[in-house]
Amino acid sequence: MVEDRKLAVLRAIVEDYVSTEEPVGSRALVERHQLGVSPATVRNDMAALEEEGFIAQPHTSAGRVPTDKGYRLFVDRLTTVKPMSAAEKRAIATFLDGAVDLDDVVQRSVRLLAQLTRQVAVVQYPTLARSTVRHIELVLLAPNRLLAVLILSSGRVEQRLVELATELGDDALSDLRSRVNRAATGELITVAAQALGDLAVAAAPEQQAITEAVTATLVEAMSDHRADGRVAVGGAANLARFGEGFDGSIRPMLEALEEHVVLLKLLGEASVGGTVTVRIGHEGPYQELSSTSVVATGYGPGDAALATLGVVGPTRMDYPGTMAAVRAVARYVTRILDEA
């Protein structure tokens, strides 16, 4: 167990190194932080922290820098996540509230995260399989043609034209609309698709052809996985400012930005919204990105996350501020999708 005093020294080293990008010496710690102990005690604590693997000396006669193990302890012992200021909250709300559709929400979110954190931001598009049906609307365009509109909990909207073999009156349209919504609304995609299929089978003979045409079109819209596995990336230009932050080479990170599968694996699987996860250095899935940390969380209405968003950057990052930004943006995106 690391004593509270050593933890305070480690916290000071992390904060100074993130701020200055320079190895931290004992004299600097005593001058910048009110640790309440002598310089000799600080040196002893630093020696103990180094022996235990929480900090390291990159060069002879240099100060110390945190290791992955040190960052992990720092993050795990954060008592609170740094709160967003009122101005930051207003800026987030104003920027995201202007979104006109799901694509716009995702693109605005990724730009906002990159600006707030000055890191590379990644936002996964909502996964269709985790969505529920919010509403189905049927609009009669002509006596034998209607528009089927599928609205999902993810904010995704699918529209399909349905050509009918026979004409459809207003009363029959209202009845069909009620039946498909009773069968599908509030259900997961897989359950809703099955329910709509059963609805077509159980339809009265005079309604069978029209019901089958409409339900088949809706099921086809539900099985459209074009958005699954897609991610939006923002802030790639921020890589230029990291310099030695990626052990002198940002090439692996640049290559990762071109592979959505890699980015999704970096973000990890977020099954519960609201929980911010931090993977530091070698904790990640790719050895070539071992100088990278990822801060991510799930988003989406309800407890189950529809998808994940987060930031990727060097292990030397402002973890409290980054965690706060990721959590705040996820909450606003969730609210927007919930109100859509």
Boundary of a domain, candidates 196, 222, 248: 222
Residue 329 — very low, low, confident or very high, per pLDDT cuts 50/70/90? Answer: very high
Q: How far apart are CA 287 and CA 231, in angstroms?
A: 22
Same domain, 159 and 72: no
* Confidence tier at 38 by pLDDT (50, 70, 90): confident
Examine the domain organization and report whether 269 and 324 are in the same domain: yes
Query: Of 175, 205, 222, which marks where a domain is finished?
Result: 222
pLDDT for 300 equals 79
Domain end among 194, 222, 250? 222
- Note whether 110 and 234 are within 8 A (CB): yes
Task: Check residue 229 and give its pLDDT.
Answer: 67
Same domain for 62 and 172?
A: no
Residue 194: Cβ-neighbour burial (10 angstroms; 0-12, 13-18, 19+):
middle
300 and 315 housed in the same domain: yes
| 283 Cβ neighbours under 8 A, 6+ residues apart | 68, 72
pLDDT in tens, 76-126: 988 666 778 888 888 888 888 888 788 888 999 999 999 999 999 999 888
Tokens of 39: 């310089």
Task: Give the domain range for residue 30.
Answer: 4-76
Residues 217, 301: one domain?
Answer: no
Any idea what the CATH number is for the domain that residue 41 is in? Answer: 1.10.10.10
**pLDDT single digits (tens) 2-23:** 588 888 899 999 999 998 888 9
CA distances for 73 relative to 14, 69, 202, angstroms? 11, 6, 60
CATH code of the domain in which 264 resides: 3.30.450.40
23 with 150, same domain? no
Q: Please indicate, yes or no, whether residues 326 and 208 belong to a single structural domain of this protein.
A: no
Q: Say yes or no: 243 and 296 in one domain.
A: yes
Domain co-membership, 123 together with 238: yes
Residues 91 and 72 in one domain: no
Residues 196 and 99 both lie in one domain: no
Asked if residue 237 and residue 206 are part of one domain, the reply reads no
DSSP string, 253-289: HHHHHT-HHHHHHHH----BBT--EEEEGGGSS-GGG
The answer as to whether 324 is a domain residue is yes
- Report residue 219 as tokens: 């099921």
Band of residue 254 on the pLDDT scale cut at 50, 70, 90: confident
Please say whether the beta carbons of 123 and 299 come within 8 A.
no
Q: For residue 216, is it within any domain?
A: yes
Q: Which two tokens stand for residue 24?
A: 């931290």
Task: Please determine, for residue 1, whether its predicted confidence score (pLDDT) is greater than 80.
Answer: no
Read off the pLDDT of each residue in 235-252 and give the average, rounded to a whole number. 69
**For 194-230, how does the pLDDT look when each residue is reduced to its tens digit (9 = 90+)?**
999 898 888 888 888 899 999 999 998 887 655 556 8
Q: If you average pLDDT over residues 41-46, what whole number do you get?
A: 89
CA distance 298 to 279: 14
Q: What is the DSSP letter of 302?
A: S
With respect to residue 334, please indicate whether it lies within any of the assigned structural domains: yes
Number of domains present in the structure of the chain? 3
Residue labelled with tokens 């630093």: 46
Structure tokens at 239: 């890589």
Cα–Cα distance for residue pair 264/266, rounded to 1 Å: 5
Which tokens go with 23?
A: 């190895």
Q: Is residue 81 part of a domain?
A: no
